[in-house]
Amino acid sequence: MSNVIVVGSQWGDEGKGKIVDWLSNKADAVVRFQGGHNAGHTLVIDGKVYKLSLLPSGIVRGKKSFIGNGVVLDLWALAKEIEAVSHKGINITADLLSISETTSLILSYHRELDTAREHKLDGIKIGTTGRGIGPAYEDKIGRRAIRLCDIFDKRNLKKKIENALFHHNPIRKGLGINEVKSVDILNQLNDITNFIEPYVSNIWNDLIRLQNEEKNILFEGAQGMLLDNDHGTYPFVTSSNTISSQASIGSGLGIIKNCFTLGITKAYLTRVGEGPFPTEQNNSIGEKLGKIGNEFGTVTGRKRRCGWLDLVLLKQSVNICGIHGLALTKLDVLDHFEKINVCISYDFNGKKYNYLPPIISSTDNLKAEYIELDGWMESTRGCRNFNELPRNAKKYIEMLREITGVEISLLSTSPERKDTILFKDPF
């Protein structure tokens, strides 16, 4: 038995979906443990493209999949996703998918608040996707969330909705949007109750049983460590904890035994939305990285900001997440650069830093210090053997290993599952 936690080591969009899909071959179960439907995972399987936001990536391989209590769940978005994959031949049954009964729900008033508040802000704009993720997590912490189990408790559901609206309606009034009536929310939930009921389960009990049976469990994180609510580039972060230890909290499996933490790492760096980005390239280099890498959000379609790989931030992720190995993705995007820069330290107001100072909200006064490497100007796309790689591509990989102090476990050379070089199997 062994378990694997997959986390993004950057600001998300590292290619976790393909890696989870690849690893799911050896997994008995796959678990989503945080986030919502703002994070998309793209899988390419036998030429078919699957874009998942809530469903664990292993589900397209027929692996038992769980959505944990750490997720905030939009039932209507899930219904659309299940319908979309069914059109591609995957039937999502209750035997295949289980959802924690204590998962907090994203309701219509969360989405409306998210959008209205972002548009009204005069100060710091976070760059939210407007899907209600943040407001839903706020309600969870404020102890007014509607959880999945609540929608089957018809006697008390109306009271719980009214309790939530006691908080929301005054805010809506201040923002100039109409107040919500509890009966409207009740009707929305009643319309979807029959759809969701077969999937609801006590998943922490299921996961403990699987672990006791010495099954392999794969924990699938969304977004990336640098968007963690505590350890990321606050306040330009998501509303949940994205680091590896959240896998225990967000699934209910308190002690994850024999665990390997795999950090998914893009060979360059991207970011969506606002916030500091020390190695961002607002120039032809950034445009080239974005064009070759097709850097647009899976869910939002938003153009991603692009820059050179930042090993200061990567080492920060390695240390905070306890990463045992890296899965390097999108190396082929660098095939087209004669020279490649990699950030190894910062200078901030004349002082050297080997981490990103938490007071940084803008990188105007932060200087990224680079080493310059020779590119390889040869194709690495589709390589399935390390010896096939160009000499300078091998040097780039070795440099990452030496500076981070962490082994490269996997190298992805295209979105296709089979185009993967294995150095060390996390399972």
Active site residues: 13, 41
Cα–Cα distances in angstroms (integers) from residue 116 to residues 31, 145, 229, 247, in the given order: 32, 20, 22, 32
Residue 218's Cβ-side half-sphere holds a number of Cα atoms within 13 Å equal to 26
Cα–Cα distance, 222 to 242 (Å, whole number): 7
Whether omega before 278 lies within 30 degrees of 0, making that bond cis, reads: no
**Cβ–Cβ contacts within 10 Å for residue 394, how many?**
14
Give 220's contacts (C-beta < 8 A, 6+ positions apart). Answer: 6, 16, 20, 30, 31, 32, 33, 56, 57, 58
Residues in the chain: 427
* Distance between CA atoms of residues 155 and 152, nearest Å: 9
Exposed, middle or buried: residue 199 (CB in 10 Å: 0-12, 13-18, 19+)?
buried
Element (H, E) at 259: strand 259-266
Neighbours of 240 (CB within 10 A): 26
Q: CA distances (Å), 247 to each of 32, 229, 253, in order?
A: 8, 15, 8
For residues 409 and 422, give the distance between their C-alpha atoms in angstroms, rounded to a whole number: 6
Give me the residues paired with residue 67 across strands: 32, 99
423 membership: H or E segment, kind and range: none
Radius of gyration, alpha carbons of the chain: 22
The residue among 252, 412, 390 whose CA lies nearest residue 328 is 412
Query: Quick one: how far is CA 404 from the chain centroid?
Result: 22
